Structure 1
Amino acid sequence: MTQYRVTEDSLRVFCQEVFATLGVGMTDAQTVADNLVEAELRGVKSHGVAKMKEYAHKLEIKEFNARPDIKIVREGISSLAIDGDFGLGAVTGKWAMTRCLDKAKRTGIAVATVGKGRHFGMAAFYSMLALKQDMIGIALCNSGPIMTVYGGTSRVLGTNPISIAVPANQEYPLVFDAATSQAAFNRIIVANREEREIPSGWAVDQHGQPTVNAGEALLGAVIPFGGYKGSDLAVMVEVLSGLLSGAFLAAAGGEQPAAKHNGVGFFFGAVHITDFVDTALFKQAVDELIASLKASRREENYGEIYMPGEKEYISRANSIKQGVDISGAVLADLQEVQKRYGLKSILEIITASE
């Protein structure tokens, strides 16, 4: 399948125009575009512009609220409970995380939940907001039931991602961002769109049997990573982001009307480092930790040891220099969106290759 490389700027402008055309305010349109393009830059293709067609459709049918009335419904000294009003996840997520960070500056540590949320894209987009303020950021999210529990074969849990971002000094920040499934569900959607098989162990079909066929996997369920450990982590993310926020319980059946109405839940955390230890010393200690880990003895024939998020930072630097790689299938989706809404912006293609 042909691969294309497009300019970052044209991709960002294109995304902004899509959302603005569908009634999203300009600032919010920029936020969602930043979320999707940042995922592309970091190589997280499953949460990049491959989501654009879906987002546009859900805005059109009003499943996503283009202009949400986001509000704080409960507030404590170091806590916030927020009603996201079914707005685009990137909009409500950034709104909530920004206020969580502001509160942590005053209290040392703060947490925020968001109920009535919608798909919020790459979790690291929110945890990394803390890095600009020399803070530690945490982002969790639940989703509709698309993953099995350990030992089961039916859909009862979301893929429930976890992201933690930690500032460093000279080294790249440490940024962990992973679903609790073997692979993000969106990676299977992309594989199906591109007519590729998926690795063994990612999913089961609708009969509970292992499959490498992406289409069959979409009818079945994804599998937790690491056996019971990933499964149990997913349950705990469900508690913090689903139950604590008042969002639906995936395990109780996300297809039930009342449960579906309550949407997706988010959980954010922020740690003001200076309230615990000198920030400069902490960041230097992170650098030293990274250096010691990367210098450790390696397995035979193993290449470089990478830290959490390091490959994504390298991908980002390369994408900014060379352009953003997108598949022919994703480009076709974007062109379909462009035609459907009569957009003026044009994606600038740098190269195309088989």
Structure 2
Amino acid sequence: MKKVFVYLSAFATIVSVVQAATSPSPLRAELLSLIGSPSAHLDTKIRNEFSTKLQAFADTPDVDPSDIIFAIGASVFGIDITTPVKKADGGSVEKPVIVDFDFMKQFMKDVFLTYGCTEDQAEISSEVLIESDKRGIDSHGLGRLKPIYCDRIDKGILWANKPISIIKETETTALVDGNLGLGLYIGPYCMDLAIQKAKKYGVGFVVAQRSTHYGIAGYYSQMAAEAGCVGFSGTNARPSIAPTFGVEPMLGTNPLCFGIPSDEEFPFVIDCATSVNQRGKIERYGREGVSTPRGAVIDNEGIERTDTEGILRDMVLGKCALTPVGGAGDKMGGYKGYGWATTVELLCTAFQSGPFGEEVCGVDRETGKPKPMPLGHFFLAINIESICSLQTFKRNTGNLLRALRGSMKSPKGPGRIYTAGELENEARISRTGQGGMPVPKALQQNMIDLRNQHPNLKEKYGKLPFE
């Protein structure tokens, strides 16, 4: 690790000398000095200072978005600052506005209250969404508020205030009916129930039926990890993934997520779709006006697509599909992702005779009208203290994770190895340091539309932070 920072210090010195003439910014010089500090990326104080200064530098008029200082910030400190994107004519696209987390959570909570949620439902649902934005998972936070939850309530295929029913229960298991209410509220209820059972009996397993989109799966596994349990959760979704050697969307993006406690400041949380890419990220590409990476989508002709807007349109029409982890075919092991996606679909549907495929696509293919999407979820919590000391388990976990990060680095890589949950933790630190979350133009418009649609929101939010 010392060699890495000796290299970075020397590199920072060289960069500062070479670019001094073209970029005499005092802020830039301060950033370069921070890069050369020993173990800087492990020091929370230095990381926060670096994040604040990097954001200030990014806000400097005429700053070069390709400046290497931003790449260093991302690869070494895990701080990814949004910089202006240059247009072909030399101009720049307006940067997202940074909005305070507390303001944003309250806005989302007020939206849910406006739609008829109870105080508890609105509080928990907004908490799940803001956690996504805090962790840098922009595809599942504010970006989901209007198009997934509000629009579906408006269409009458999701209900804001529905009771949760327990259909069947034993000491260690439960089957819960969400009655097509908010998955953002149903999910935390189910994982909390699984944790309660685990704390009493060692293991708790809960299946939810007739639920709806429940946000990031990582929220639920982290709930378990923070309670001293190993957490495991998954959900099915509208058909998006084509089976290996197929082109028809049959399986959801079906995330498979584990949360494991560690003695570090953040748990090990692996939350991955079983597709190469998920729809939310492609929607983000659409908002940013960029192409979808080749290999993530295949159409009915077997062609790998990159045209983001066309992909989003054709996915709704069933004319293209996401590829499973490993890609199309079997050359890169696409059958592995296909198998895991199928596993999640089975765990979400087989216990409760739940629908899949066409029945959860959200659209009546014959009429084109929207229809409910009754999803299934599963939640598993294993009480660590039932098997060994929690302190010992956390130490053992931390030792392995530190060994992985400390192993030999690729000379062609960024000089750093990550473990799951680390980037999300650093995004939280970075965004806290910069004063909140970035809200791009498209999401600003979503907030304006929601505000203008409801008189009580218009009264309370007469002027939003970016107006």
Normalization by structure 1: what TM-score?
0.93
Tell me the equivalent position of 1:176. Answer: 270
Which structure: larger Rg? 2
2-structure distance, mates of 1:251, 1:127: 28
1-structure distance, mates of 2:302, 2:358: 17
Tell me the equivalent position of 1:242. Answer: 349
Within 5 A, what are the aligned runs for 1:1-354?
1-2=93-94, 3-54=96-147, 55-218=149-312, 219=314, 220-226=320-326, 227-250=334-357, 254=361, 263-302=374-413, 303-322=415-434, 323-342=436-455, 343=457, 344-345=460-461, 347-349=464-466
SS of residue in 1 equivalent to 2:257: strand
What is the CA-CA distance between 1:320 and the residue it aligns to? 1.9
CA contact (8 A) 1:204 1:217 kept: no
What is the CA-CA distance between 1:206 and the residue it aligns to? 4.9
Change (3 A) 1:194 1:100: same
CA contact (8 A) 2:362 2:372 kept: no
CA contact (8 A) 2:236 2:375 kept: yes
CA contact (8 A) 2:109 2:122 kept: yes
What is the CA-CA distance between 1:348 and the residue it aligns to? 3.0
Q: Of Structure 1 and Structure 2, which has the larger fraction of its residues in strand?
A: 1
Deviation larger for 126-135 or 305-314: 126-135
Percent identical among aligned pairs is 28
For 1:232, the aligned partner's letter is G
SS of residue in 1 equivalent to 2:163: coil
CA contact (8 A) 2:360 2:372 kept: no
For 1:18, the aligned partner's letter is V
SS of residue in 2 equivalent to 1:211: coil
What is the CA-CA distance between 1:317 and the residue it aligns to? 1.5
Deviation larger for 16-25 or 213-222: 213-222
Change (3 A) 1:228 1:200: same
2-structure distance, mates of 1:209, 1:253: 25
For 1:20, the aligned partner's letter is L
CA contact (8 A) 2:360 2:373 kept: no
For 1:86, the aligned partner's letter is L
1-structure distance, mates of 2:302, 2:180: 32
What is the CA-CA distance between 1:176 and the residue it aligns to? 0.3
After superposition, the C-alpha distances for 1:48-72 in whole angstroms (9 at most, x for unaligned) are 1111112111122332121112111
SS of residue in 2 equivalent to 1:210: coil
Gapped runs of 5+ residues in structure 1? none
2-structure distance, mates of 1:16, 1:46: 19
After superposition, the C-alpha distances for 1:74-117 in whole angstroms (9 at most, x for unaligned) are 11221111101111111111111111100011111111100001
What is the CA-CA distance between 1:254 and the residue it aligns to? 4.5
Structure number with greater CO (CA < 8 Å, separation at least 6) is 1
2-structure distance, mates of 1:275, 1:232: 31
2-structure distance, mates of 1:319, 1:171: 17
What is the CA-CA distance between 1:307 and the residue it aligns to? 0.5
Tell me the equivalent position of 2:76. Answer: none
SS of residue in 2 equivalent to 1:297: coil
After superposition, the C-alpha distances for 1:135-194 in whole angstroms (9 at most, x for unaligned) are 111110001111111111111110000111111113521010010011111111222233
Gapped runs of 5+ residues in structure 2? 1-92, 315-319, 327-333, 365-370
1-structure distance, mates of 2:353, 2:211: 10
For 1:222, the aligned partner's letter is L
Corresponding residue pairs, total: 348
Tell me the equivalent position of 2:38. Answer: none
SS of residue in 1 equivalent to 2:209: strand
SS of residue in 2 equivalent to 1:66: coil
2-structure distance, mates of 1:43, 1:191: 15
CA contact (8 A) 1:138 1:268 kept: yes
CA contact (8 A) 1:115 1:262 kept: no
